[in-house]
A = this chain, B = another copy of it.
């Protein structure tokens, strides 16, 4: 019976069998030490017997083998256990050296990223790289659990669409049996429509953007976490998002201490209620503190986003901050203006460690108003069949509702402190990259 590396501590002094890949091999004082990698970690194996050493001759890292031996306590070994008096069974010999190092940290410097991604299939065997996606799996699971706790229904909406209802230029088009189809940039309209059915819906699925830019934050495909809720207010949405980020950080730090250390990741400060600051106040504080005049501007400058995050960290004890009171003139047509003050939108952007990670907003749910906004704000034609499903949902009764969309890779990036979102993407796609 195979034992996993994480379970060896419970078998000290016993005969055990492990299975995995040769991760590292070195000679030291007449002994051969190999590290064997399995799905959890590494096991150090001491090979002394000449016949056993002979079995490894000419074999490279990546070789798949079984090791039977005695588990011995050894504080200097990974996991604190070592295997002695071993018998090796090579099940898959590897005779080529791997094209990228898997037993020491790989460089994430900008000029090494193409190499990193070109050799991704093998490079992910590096346990530091693998750790990124083990953490991402936990982030994703925690987000889903949070949705379930809050009574959301999961849905699967189509990514093949007849027309592009949002965006315009940044839409991929494809031949669909002689017609043109487009790839969804977001499940925005579907999630709103499904509030009329389930009240609370979520989806975690790929979305597509024909982004012409090759920057640290643009990708043509990413994993979008989308949530939408009916019968709520903007404050409910703020509370929901605060709790979501809090839950993710707590769970990741509870489960992945060792992997986080490999990346020198520091735990973000996330209060259970993330502070809310109005755009006006940010402009004023920023202008006063930096001498850069931004008061009256309709958006935050990138530098201002960084500044307010530093301010919130220092003064409010939070690595995240909500920006409220966005100008209504900047609304998308499906956004909702504030009932008391129609000059501002019912919207909050969540900034985390210097960048926006999600926009939460209330949606206009009144048929007449959304038809007017479609014309006035987007120059859209309400009789365009692409808008019919959304407008019909309103026409036949939609409650006040709101939601958000959040890039899973960007959240992973900010949690680990990466410069480029692609470092937190399993197989990134951008204008220059379609493989592997």
* Chain A residues near B (Cβ < 8 Å): 2, 19, 21-22, 38-39, 60-64, 91-92, 94, 96, 98-99, 121-122, 124-125, 130, 133-134, 136-137, 140-141, 144, 148, 151, 153-162, 172-177, 179, 181, 183, 190, 193-194, 196-200, 205-206, 208, 210, 212, 220-221, 223, 230-231, 365-366, 385, 388-389, 392-393, 395-400, 408, 426-427, 429, 431, 434-436
Contact = CB atoms under 8 A, between A and B. Distances in A.
B197 A92 contact: no
Contact of A179 (B160, B231, B392, B434): B434
Contact of A396 (B96, B181, B194): B96
Contact of A206 (B155, B159, B173): B159
10 contacts: A22-B397, A39-B230, A91-B400, A92-B397, A96-B396, A122-B393, A125-B196, A158-B221, A158-B426, A161-B435
Given A64-B398, A92-B399, A434-B176, A392 B159 contact: no
A38 B396 CA distance: 15
A385 B39 contact: no
Nearest to A139: B154
Given A62-B396, A396-B62, A398-B92, A133 B153 contact: yes
Shortest Cβ-Cβ A-B pairs, 6 listed: A62-B397, A39-B199, A174-B174, A389-B436, A162-B434, A62-B396
The complex is assembled from copies of this chain, and their number is 2
Nearest to A409: B156
B19 A399 contact: yes
A136 B175 CA distance: 30
A96 B395 CA distance: 7
A426 B198 contact: no
Contact of A365 (B92, B98, B141, B199): B92
Given A162-B434, A366-B92, A399-B91, A38 B199 contact: yes
A85 B436 CA distance: 66
Contact of A130 (B177, B197, B426): B197
A140 B153 CA distance: 10
A339 to B, nearest CB: 12
A206 B190 CA distance: 16
Contacts of A144: 141, 144
